[in-house]
Amino acid sequence: MTAYIVLAAVALLLALLVGGRSPTALLFTVWAAGFHLAGLVSERDWLLSYSNPALVTLIVLLQVSLALERSPLLDRLTELILKGRPSMAVLRFSTMTCMISAFINNTAVVGTLLGVISRQRHQPPSKLLIPLSYGAIVGGIVTLVGTSTNLVVNSFVVDAKLPPLEMFQFSMVGVPVALACIAVMTLCTGLLPANKPESKKSRQAYFLEAKVSPGSQLAGKSIEDNLLRNLDGLFLLEIEREERLISPVGPDEILCEGDILVFTGDMTKVQALHAFPGLHVFGTRADTLLGSNLVEVVISNESILANRTLREVDFRSHFDAGVVGIRRGDKRLSGQLGRIPLRVGDSLLLAVGGDFAQHRNIERNFHVLDGEMLRPRLTPRQSVFTLAGFALAIGLSAAEIWPLLNSLLVLLAVLLVSRILTLAELRRRFPFDLLLIIGSALTISRALESSGAAQLIADTMRSIFDGYGVYGAFVGVYLITLAVTEVIPNNAAAALAFPIGLSTARAFNADPTPFVMAVAYGASACFMVPFGYQTHLMVMSPGRYRATDYFKAGLPVSLTYSAGVLGLVPVFFPF
């Protein structure tokens, strides 16, 4: 009976993850704590789950990647390879992205190149951003450190007392699969839309301007006293006064004659301004002064804004900026902007104040698409030093001279001593959510084992695939993982699929390695749906994509990827 209760609890967890209304880290943490309180996992095992060596390696690797993100070498290389026909640009660019993502976390690669692609004018960004995400995915499956998913699976392998996965153990299958997928992406370039980037002229539709007329009774009174803070559908964003811009506008700001008030929100609510005598609405121009402080950003996967509204987070106080408009994919959202629940990947057009760039929470919450980098770039000497140190750490691990965790810890210490990274930056960007998800997932996996639920799954898998042999069971594990990763985050998919794969291997008395690889490759096989992989969400709004664009471009890539994995894994990792 206990096994069935645990399976029902895991099924409920999966349903809530698909629903997407609750944070993934919160759900996994609550479920892990619940299994501990139910007596299925001891206190010692529960706490040890969060200090798994492979998980600690992943955390340190992500911290080191913060320095790699700031290297200008990627920007310069990208500019050089984007000239020429779109198909050849996709080929060169995808190959470069794949090679980099084999050694640098794919989310960091996409976040670094996102602004470069959005600003360049050689190719429409929509022709390159989906290939950027796909290239990062297929590059990630080439090595152990290419994607957090591989390291997550390795944490489960270590926890199951199996031999740890090696640095290039993924390469035998990953390299040919990656090359095949890049070739398909190049041939299918025509399936990608050629959306033009949003021009400054098109941004005028976001604004509504009104002037305080001479003799107006509004002059001499504050914003609060004039009742301009709670308008129906409109929001006072900025004030232009004598060639000076006041942004953002506080409730105590006193209006003067001749002030130009800039509103944003639902432009169909303009009639709300007619109730203010002496306020002259004269058009929607966005002049040079106003346009000079516009910055477009994309909400990152680490942002506090995900699933919250602008009102809930007090956006203006947090970032010294006002939101002019919100775009989700190819749709510009309208209505009362402060009440719209935001999502990872949403594109925000901000009118920023003078202190915007100094706010330390900008880099954690946003990928900046235009304007200068908010963080200082590494100098050429610092770039070479950081990249050489990272390459040395990887090389020592691959040659089995020194463990990867030890090498990364030394490199991280050197980066801190040299001031390339700071403790404040590490605190701001520490991946707490990932730590909670993976540590909790290890606890859930132990609960599946101790309750007998894992054995129940194994028996079911054997009864389903018994007529097809061990290869049929292997295909089944891969397809289950692929289906789950299309609808929930890839790390969560790997966490839920790993116990199934391991139990199935044991049920067939087979080597668990090919089943482990099926989970690892399957958890990264998200190509057709934008919501299951964070890099897809990151490029969705900058590329102005629709969900159907991912399906059209992703279907041939997904079929190629799956055929390669299912054909090559049994060759290099026999049952």
* pLDDT one-digit tens code per residue, 342-393: 988 898 888 777 677 777 678 788 888 765 545 567 888 898 899 899 989 9
Distances in whole angstroms, Cα of residue 223 to Cα of each of 34, 228, 311, 315: 50, 6, 18, 18
**b/e string for 215-253 if b means 16 or more Cβ within 10 A?**
ebebbeeebeebebeebebbbbbbbbbeeebebbbeeeb
pLDDT score for 373: 47
Spatial CB neighbours of 111, under 8 Å, sequence gap ≥ 6: 69, 300, 367, 538
Percentage of the chain modeled with pLDDT above 90: 26
Of 119, 121, 111, the C-alpha closest to 539 is: 111
Note whether 162 and 516 are within 8 A (CB).
yes
pLDDT score for 312: 85
* Alpha-carbon dihedral angle through residues 256, 259, 262, 267, given to the nearest 10 degrees: 90
pLDDT score for 570: 95
pLDDT beyond 60 at 204: no
Q: Which of 329-343, 424-438, 507-521 has the lowest mean pLDDT?
A: 329-343
Q: Which of 174-188, 347-361, 448-462 has the lowest mean pLDDT?
A: 347-361
pLDDT score for 292: 56
**Count of H helices and E strands in the chain?**
24, 10
pLDDT score for 398: 84
pLDDT beyond 90 at 516: yes
pLDDT score for 268: 64
pLDDT higher for 455 or 516?
516
pLDDT score for 124: 86
Note whether 146 and 137 are within 8 A (CB).
no
- How many other CB atoms sit within 10 Å of the CB of residue 110? 24
pLDDT score for 376: 65
Q: 359: which 2 tokens? A: 């706010």
Note whether 421 and 427 are within 8 A (CB).
no
pLDDT score for 172: 94
Q: Which of 16-25, 222-231, 399-408 has the lowest mean pLDDT?
A: 16-25
pLDDT beyond 60 at 213: yes
Max mean pLDDT among 78-92, 109-123, 390-404 falls in 390-404
Burial environment of residue 381 by CB neighbours within 10 A (0 to 12, 13 to 18, 19 or more): exposed
User: What is the distance between the alpha carbons of residues 465 and 469, in angstroms, rounded to a whole number?
Assistant: 6
Q: What is the largest distance, in Å, between two alpha-carbon atoms of the chain?
A: 89
Percentage of the chain modeled with pLDDT above 70: 93
pLDDT score for 121: 73
Q: What is the mean pLDDT of residues 38-58?
A: 88
Q: What angle do CA 75, 80, 86 make, to 5 degrees?
A: 110
Spatial CB neighbours of 461, under 8 Å, sequence gap ≥ 6: 473, 476, 477, 500, 503, 504, 507
Q: What residues are paired with 351 via a beta bridge?
A: 294, 322
Phi, psi for residue 248 in degrees, rounded to 5: -75, 175
Note whether 6 and 418 are within 8 A (CB).
no
Rounded to two decimals, what is the model's pTM?
Answer: 0.80
Mean residue pLDDT across the chain: 85
pLDDT score for 335: 64
pLDDT higher for 568 or 236?
568
Distances in whole angstroms, Cα of residue 559 to Cα of each of 90, 102, 528, 534, 546: 19, 21, 10, 21, 21
pLDDT score for 130: 93
Spatial CB neighbours of 231, under 8 Å, sequence gap ≥ 6: 263, 265, 269, 272, 273
Q: Which of 29-43, 286-300, 447-461 has the lowest mean pLDDT?
A: 286-300
pLDDT beyond 70 at 447: yes
Of 293, 155, 276, 288, the C-alpha closest to 237 is: 293
pLDDT beyond 80 at 223: yes
Max mean pLDDT among 73-82, 112-121, 208-217 falls in 208-217
Q: What is the mean pLDDT of residues 536-548?
A: 87
**b/e string for 429-462 if b means 16 or more Cβ within 10 A?**
bbbebbbbbbbbbbbbbbbbbbbbbbebbbeebb
- pLDDT category at 286 given cuts 50, 70, 90 is very low
pLDDT beyond 80 at 207: no
What letter represents residue 565's amino acid? V
Domains contained in the chain, CATH given: 202-285 (3.30.70.1450)
- pLDDT category at 283 given cuts 50, 70, 90 is low
Note whether 257 and 194 are within 8 A (CB).
no
DSSP 356: G
Q: What is the DSSP string of 186-255?
A: HHTGGGS--PPPPPTTGGGGGEEEEEE-TT-TTTTSBTTTTT-SS-SSEEEEEEEETTEEE-SPPTTPBP
Q: Which of 311-320, 395-404, 443-452 has the lowest mean pLDDT?
A: 311-320
Spatial CB neighbours of 179, under 8 Å, sequence gap ≥ 6: none
